[in-house]
Structures are given as C-alpha cells and as structure tokens.
Structure 1
Amino acid sequence: MPGSASRRTVLAAALAAAAGTAAAGAVPASASEPGGTGEGAGAAAPATVANRFWSTFTDWRSGAAEGTRAVAGSRPGLVLDAPLGVTDYTDPHTGLTSSWEYARWTSPAHTPAVPATEVIASWNARTPAGTWLQVELAGRYADGTATPWFVMGRWASGDTDIRRTSVDGQTDGRSSVWTDTLAVDDPASGLRLVAYRLRLTLHRRPGSTLTPTVWRLGAMASDVPDRFTVPASVPGLARELAVPRYSQNTHVGQYPEYDNGGEAWCSPTSSQMILEYWGRRPSAAELAWVNPDYADPQVCHAARYTYDHQYEGCGNWPFNAAYAAGYPSMNAVVTRLRSLTDLETLIRAGIPAMTSQSFRAEELTGAGYGTSGHLMTVIGFTAAGDVIANDPASPTNEAVRRVYRRREWENVWLRTKRYNASGNVVSGTGGVCYLYFPERPTAAQRKALQAVGVV
C-alpha cells in the first residue's frame, strides 16, 4: 500500500472510539504572530487552523532561557550556551545509556485564535554529531486545567548518537500523543486546548563546545470541520512547475530496515522531489553509504534521515520537515490548507506542495490503488483546473506525473471522515500539507505564503 499510515489508522480508530461516532481528522500547519509570522489563512472561511512559530532574534529572546542563548545574523537561532548540568539518556532503540550536558528554552504561553482538538509541533534545526534535541509541548484546556509536558520528538540530524524517535504511550486521560500529533481524545465532548507552550532541550557530549542550532520552532493548532465532503472550489490557475520525478516503488526491497524499503517511502520520496526543485540535494560524500547499484540514491538517503525508530516509518511529518530544513537556507513547515484555491496561490508563486490524502481505489480516478495515508507532490493545475501531481506510488520515475480530477482530489485531501474498504468510518487527513521554501523567498512567494498562513 502506498505511504506509511499505520499510526494514522490508530489515531483514527482511537478518536472514533472516544467520540462514539466518527474519527476526527488528524493533522498540522505553521506560522506565527508578533515578531514572527501570521495566523490563519486570508480568505473568508471559518478559521480552523492557527499557527505560531518562533524564528526571529526577538522571538528567541522572548522565551525563558535556561543555559541557551539567542544568536543574531541572517538566520537567527537558539544555541546551547551554559549547560544546566548533565543528564543520562537511555536510548530505547539501542539500550545504550549516555551522559549529556543540557540546556533549555521555553516559549511564552501562546493562545491560538482557534481552540484546538489537535496540536502538532515542528522545528528547523541542525544537530552536529555529538548533539541532539528534544521538543515538548504543554497545553491548557478551556476549563483552566493543564496538560503535563508531552514529548513531541527526540531528534538529531544524524543517527549515530541517538535514534531519532517519537514517544508512545503519553496521555493525561483527556488528550494523547499519537507519534507527532497531540489530539483531544473525545472531540465530540467539546473539550479544546486553548493555549500551549513549547520547550526545547538541547543536548551535547559533556565537555564539548558543540551545540544544536534551532532556527524555527512552533506549532499548529487545529479544529477541523467534521465532514465527509468539502465545498468545491472554482478553478483559477493553469500552471505546471518543473519538479523532478521520483518513484518510491523503484526502491522496493532496498534498505528494509527503514520501513520495509521503498514500498512505504512516499513521504521521503516526495520530500526529495521538492528539495531538488529548490536546488538542494545530498553531496556525493553524504551518499557514499548507499549501494552504488541503486538508482536515485538520494531517495534512500532521505528515507534513512527521516526514519522514526518508534513509529518504525519515514512518515513522521515534523521529522520530514526537519530533514528538509537541514539543507542550506531552507525553511520547512507542516501545515494544513483549506482548499485547492490555497494550493493555486502557492503554485502561482512557484511553490510546490506535498499533500497527504487517503482514499479507496474507486475514489480517485487513475490512481489504481487505495490507501489509508499517502503523500503526493502537487506541481500544478491543467487549464480545466485538474490537479497535476507527482505521485511517488508509480512504477517508474517516468510514470510519476499524474493528472487527477479536481473534484475527486480535493475531496479526498480535505475531508476529515471517510468510509474505508470495510465500510467503517475512519479519519481523513483534512488538508495536510508540507511546504518547503527558501529562507529568503521572493516578494511574490512571501505574499503567497502569508496568504496561506505561513511566512
């Protein structure tokens, strides 16, 4: 099956059981507020997504620093300055215990415009060998009670110090973490998260002067409509971007330790397509570990360095964004959009998008498969308004370019409830989208990103 959707299916089932009806949608977004970026997207639809990202020098100085320091420059960030002490970490995937110096930064409390059933954190950072970071989130409910600190990811650019991982089994009995998503257990109850804080913990080997550098940290708060169908948008653009084409299926059987090989690599394959559109790719030295007999070794590289050892897959949304942002002068966010009009806004400005959708084979004409979760790269629109997508679930690179019917594609992408092949109600992805864009976008690109709630 294309994509890696096991934890999406688990999330859907859990939410459906809790609500006693259908599953609410799972998914993300990104941006900011004073001193950073904007909230929401600019049309007159009801707000369902609110984004806040800390990324400026002023942003970093606004938080509570405990041994961290804000650094200025062309790309302001946060670094480890004076360690608070030393802590031991036992890696659950290797069993090894190591000691690490650490320091922390905690964001101010943020009240999003949208009381949320879900919150997803994401970050842009680089961790040299001998360093890593942890991202946590704590929220406040509408009744004034608070969540504990939930771990949203333990992450490193490489995989020699710790194993990159999400953390299962986190709940306060009202909300739970499902890999990369903090979700209210029973959305039908009306319970909502109305505020949150983020906490970064930066780690390094004792006695070293190394440090992670974090350029962007934030979260998407979302309360998506409960719906099987979505309003149809009116076509408004005919344009196609020249995005490289890669098939995940040409990698079937390669490096099965990373989620069974290419069979489930829709997310890293799509990530690589968009990175190369922006002119970024691994160096020959970085690809030296890949079997020289394998075509498109950069796809194998992307799979390895997005792999989540707890989820046992390459489909962790923030991990993909963090991987992309590790390339020179790249920003990456996980967001949620409202319509194909939003995607047209991005394509018009030259920004392709990676989207997540789920569907039965008969629901998307020409796909030839059904999936409980799959990533594609939207690269344009035909004169009739149909969607042009680089679909990695294709047999060859040459076959990757597909044209899908606008109305079908819009619905399978934006709905939050659907019937699976067994006739059961499960969740839809509700407009999930990864956006990768340069640190210094053009004026037109910045305007488009602002229009969809991201800068």
Structure 2
Amino acid sequence: MHSDTTAAPPPADAAWHTRLVRADTSAGWDDRRWTSGELAPHFPAGIHPDEVVASWNLEPGAGADVEIRARDERTGWHPWQALAHWGAAGDRRSAPEHSVAAPGGDVPVIDTDILRAAPSDRWDAVQLRVTLHDRPAASTPPLRLAAVSFTAPGASVTRESGAPGAPHALTVPPLSQRAYPARDDLGGGGPGWCSPTSLTMVASAWGVEGLPATPEDTPDGADPRVPGVARAVYDSSYDGTGNWSFNVAVAGEWGLDAVVTRLPSLREAHALTRSGIPLIASISFREGELPGADYATAGHLLVIRGFDARGDVLVADPANPGGEAGLRTYPRDAFDTAWSHSRRTVYLITPSGRALPPAGPAAAW
C-alpha cells in the first residue's frame, strides 16, 4: 500500500508527460560521495515536471544517504533535500517524515518517495547525491544504478480502446498477502504487505534465490519469504512497506536492475510484458470500480503479467484468498483508471543487463 495514491477519480482523459532518465554512476565520485550530472527530462517546450521519483541500486552490504535537488529554470538550484537514509541490510532504513506541500509554498517537498514541485516552480533538471556510509572496500563503487522518473501534467488524450496487440501471459507464481495476519510492526503486517508480496512474486518469476525469509513470522502454509522481504523494504519513518524507491532498492541488492518509472499508457505495459518483463503497478479505486476485485483501496500494488485477446489486463494480485485465485483478469478501461491515480507508476525490474524492448516515441524507459 502506498499513501500517495488516492481513490478520487482522475479525469477520464487524464494524461501525463513521462520520462525515465538513468544516471552515469561510473563518474562523479569524490571519495565516498557520488553526485550525478544534470538529469533533464527534455519535455516539449513549456512543459515542466511537477513530480520526480528516484531509484538507486547498491551492492549488498552498502549503506548510503541519498539526496536530491531540483533546478528552477529562472532561479537556479534549490537546496539539497534528504531523500533516504539507506541502511545496509538489517540496519534502519528511513525516508523523511511524511509531508504535504503547503498552499503557496515556494520550495519542493518530499512526500515519502516523491519530490513534488512548489506551485511556482518551473523545473528543468534535477541532481542526485549519494554519500556512502563506509569507504568502499573494492575499487569499483557499490552504486550500480541510479535514475529519476519525471512526470508533468499532459494534454488530454482519448482513452485507448481495444486490444493493444497479441495476447500473452507470463508465468508469475501467485502469493497472497492475506495469508499473513495483521501485526503492530512492519507496516501492519499482511493487510499492508501488497508491495513486498508483489516484489517476492516478481523476484521468484526471475528465479532469484536466497530472498530474505523469516519462518518464525510465517503462518503454516504461507511463504516465509514475504515477511523477510517486508522487513527488508520497511521504511521506519513512513511506517510502511510501500515506499516505491525502497522496494526497487532492495531488488537492486538482489542483483536485479530495478527502477520506479511511470508509463504513458497500457500500450507500453503491453510492450514490456510481451517482451517477458512482469511489472508491479500501483493502483487505487473505490468499491465496485474495478470489476473482479473483492476489495477497495486507497493504494495497492499488484503484478501485471500480460493481456488477453480483448486487451484486458492479466494480473497476479496479492489481495486474494490464496492459490490460483490470485491470477485475475481486470477490464482494461477500469484498470487503467485505477492505475491513473498513481500516474501509471510501475516497478520495472529485470535481471542485470537484460535488454528492454524498443521504446516508442512516448515510452518512458
């Protein structure tokens, strides 16, 4: 569950400009500190991003403080802002305390994992800064990947209809977050573990071995890895397991290439899943708005695993009673509306070095 999504319906023709920009992590080092170059979205003239989500992948055992700053094209760089205290595995991991932009504010704010522009901002670039907690033992710095995903309100578009292409279904082993009881720690236990459950499913689909497991926290018959993954992604200041950046950072520790990005439409999701890449998507909807779902949610993560011949969305949904009940089909337009609440956010997770499909003119990878 991610608290930044909302159940208030977006306009039926909502659209956003999107762009994922990957940084060069081999340059920009000064002892234990890495500073990216200027990361710019290159949106059409007059379009300025109003939200940025950062991603980082560190080698296992590396801890770091992650910062971000944005540049206003008229006034220059804003001050650096703390984005995360990323402890090595088993150590405390926290983002800044949850904050909300004040009306008329003149500085960006960090809302868990999103840097949001002030109303007066006209951003044209951002920078990331990563300061390692310890001097690297190896000659190769432990920061494997860093990226930022930009979004800006876009022009209205006509909602797509019909199938986007050939039907396909990826093999994703279904898991249920409902197998785990509520608890007082780790973001409330199973009811709040949609993100770590989805992350465990995708890691399993990629054949990742050695995921963290905590059998002592696991009910009979449930997968012991989900509580372990929940502990690994837990954000102690947010008090939850749905911090988008933290989830991809943990996947990075498993040797995967993992970023948060936002996609322009379901067509891009189709292109990625057809190439063999399952996606973890952030959705929200009110009761009855997503046919086939037996719940409503202000923020939920699930796995997109393909599309049927009508273009409807095949998912592995962790909010299920167990077993094959997690493999569901959601109607295309209703799913897209639910997904639009997060600006079509996904975790894009692949084995290191795996090629992505060719990107179209609107693609965000």
Give the TM-score range, shorter chain: 0.7 to 0.9
For residues 393-443 of structure 1, the C-alpha deviation after alignment (integer angstroms, 9 at most, x for no partner) is 1121331111111111112212xxxxxxxxxxxxx211111111111325x
The answer on 1:377 being equivalent to 2:303 is yes
Q: Distance in 2 between matches of 1:5 and 1:347?
A: 23
Q: Name the SS of the counterpart of 2:259 in structure 1.
A: strand
- Tell me the TM-score normalized by structure 2: 0.87
- Tell me: CA distance 1:296–1:212, structure 2 relative to 1, closer, same or farther (3 Å): farther
Letter in structure 1 aligned against 2:306: G
260, 269, 281: which one aligns with 2:197: 269
The answer for the alignment partner of 1:180 in structure 2 is 113
* Partner of residue 152, structure 1: 83
| Structure-1 separation of matches of 2:246 and 2:93 | 9
1:225 aligns with 2:154: yes
- Please tell me whether the aligned partners of residues 270 and 354 of structure 1 are also in contact (alpha carbons under 8 angstroms): yes
Residues 341/413 of structure 1: CA separation in 2 closer, same or farther (3 Å cut) = same
CA distance in 2: counterparts of 1:297 and 1:248, whole angstroms: 12
- The answer to whether the aligner puts 1:6 opposite 2:20 as a matched pair is no
Q: What's 2:232 paired with?
A: 305
The one-letter code of the counterpart of 2:126 is Y
Structure 2 CA distance, aligned partners of 1:150 and 1:197? Answer: 11
After superposition, give the CA deviation of every residue in 1:54-96 in whole Å (9 maximum; x if it has no partner): 25xxx522x2x221xxxxxxxxxxxxxxxxxxxxxxxxxxxxx
Give the gaps of 5 or more residues in structure 2.
none
Percent of residue pairs bearing the same amino acid type = 34
CA–CA separation in structure 2 for the residues paired with 1:404 and 1:367: 8
What's the counterpart of residue 53 of structure 1? 22
**Residue 434 of structure 1 is aligned with which of 335, 342, 347?**
347
Secondary structure class of the residue paired with 2:93: coil
Matched AA of 2:2: A
Confirm or deny that 1:66 pairs with 2:30: yes
Q: Shift in Å at residue 8 of structure 1?
A: 4.2
For 1:120 and 1:288, the matched residues in 2 are separated by 30
**Which residue of structure 2 aligns with residue 38 of structure 1?**
none
Query: Which residue of structure 1 lines up, in the alignment, with residue 169 of structure 2?
Result: 240
Note if 1:107 corresponds to 2:36: yes
SS in 2 for 1:447: coil
Q: Secondary structure at the match of 1:279?
A: coil
Partner residue of 1:196 out of 117, 126, 135: 126
- How far residue 47 of structure 1 moved from its aligned partner, in angstroms, is 7.2
Matched, 1:296 2:229: no
Whole-Å Cα distance in 2 between the matches of residues 276 and 119 of structure 1? 29
Residue 165 in structure 1 maps to residue 108 in structure 2? no
Residue type of the alignment partner of 1:119: V
Shift of residue 274, structure 1, vs aligned partner: 0.6
Give, in whole Å, the separation in 1 of the partners of 2:98 and 2:332. 39
Q: Secondary structure at the match of 2:264?
A: coil
Find the residue that maps to 1:325 and give its secondary structure: helix
Distance 2:129 2:58 in 1: 14
Aligned residue among 309, 320, 334 for 1:394? 320
**Structure 1's 226 and 376: CA in aligned 2 closer, same or farther, altered over 3 A?**
farther
Give how far 1:325 is off: 1.4
Provide the C-alpha distance between the structure 2 equivalents of 1:217 and 1:346, rounded to a whole number of angstroms: 20
Give the direction of change, closer, same or farther, for the CA distance of 1:240–1:451 in structure 2 (3 Å limit).
farther
Q: Structure 1 residues 407, 356: closer, same or farther in 2, change over 3 A?
A: same
Distance in structure 2 (CA, Å) of the matches to 1:165 and 1:288? 21
In 2, are the aligned partners of 1:290 and 1:300 still within 8 Å (CA)?
Answer: no
Q: Mark the CA change 1:127 to 1:449 in structure 2 (over 3 Å): closer, same or farther.
A: farther
Q: Report the alpha carbon displacement of residue 272 of structure 1 after superposing the two structures with TM.
A: 0.7
Question: Shift in Å at residue 281 of structure 1?
Answer: 3.4
Q: Distance in 1 between matches of 2:360 and 2:322?
A: 32
Distance in 1 separating the partners of 2:240 and 2:260: 17
Q: 1:117–1:140: structure 2 CA closer, same or farther, 3 Å change rule?
A: same
Alpha-carbon displacement from aligned partner over 1:89-110 (angstroms, at most 9, x marks no partner)? xxxxxxxxxxxxxx21111223
Q: Is the 8 A contact 1:355 1:378 kept in 2?
A: yes
If the length of structure 1 is used for normalisation, what is the TM-score?
0.71
Pick the structure with greater CA Rg. 1
Q: What is the alpha-carbon root mean square deviation over aligned residues?
A: 2.9
| Per-residue Cα deviation, 1:29-48 (whole angstroms, up to 9, x for no partner) | xxxxxxxxxxxxxxxxx971
Whole-angstrom CA distance in 1 between matches of 2:297 and 2:288: 11
3-state SS of the aligned residue for 2:310? coil
The SS at the match of 1:60 is: coil
Match of 1:85 in 2: none
The 1:338/1:233 distance shift into structure 2, 3 A limit, reads farther
Separation in 2, partners of 1:107, 1:196: 9
Q: In the alignment, which of 260, 270, 274 is matched to residue 334 of structure 1?
A: 260
Task: Give the secondary structure class of the aligned counterpart of 1:363.
Answer: coil
Using the alignment, how far apart are the partners of 1:169 and 1:243 within structure 2?
33
Is the Cα contact below 8 Å between 2:198 and 2:301 reproduced in 1? Answer: yes
The separation in 2 between residues aligned to 1:226 and 1:157, in whole angstroms, is 42
SS in 2 for 1:379: strand
Q: Out of 408, 433, 443, which is 2:334 matched to?
A: 408
Q: Work out the CA distance in 2 between the residues paired with 1:449 and 1:152.
A: 31
Aligned CA distance change for structure 1 residues 411 and 169 (closer, same or farther; 3 Å): closer
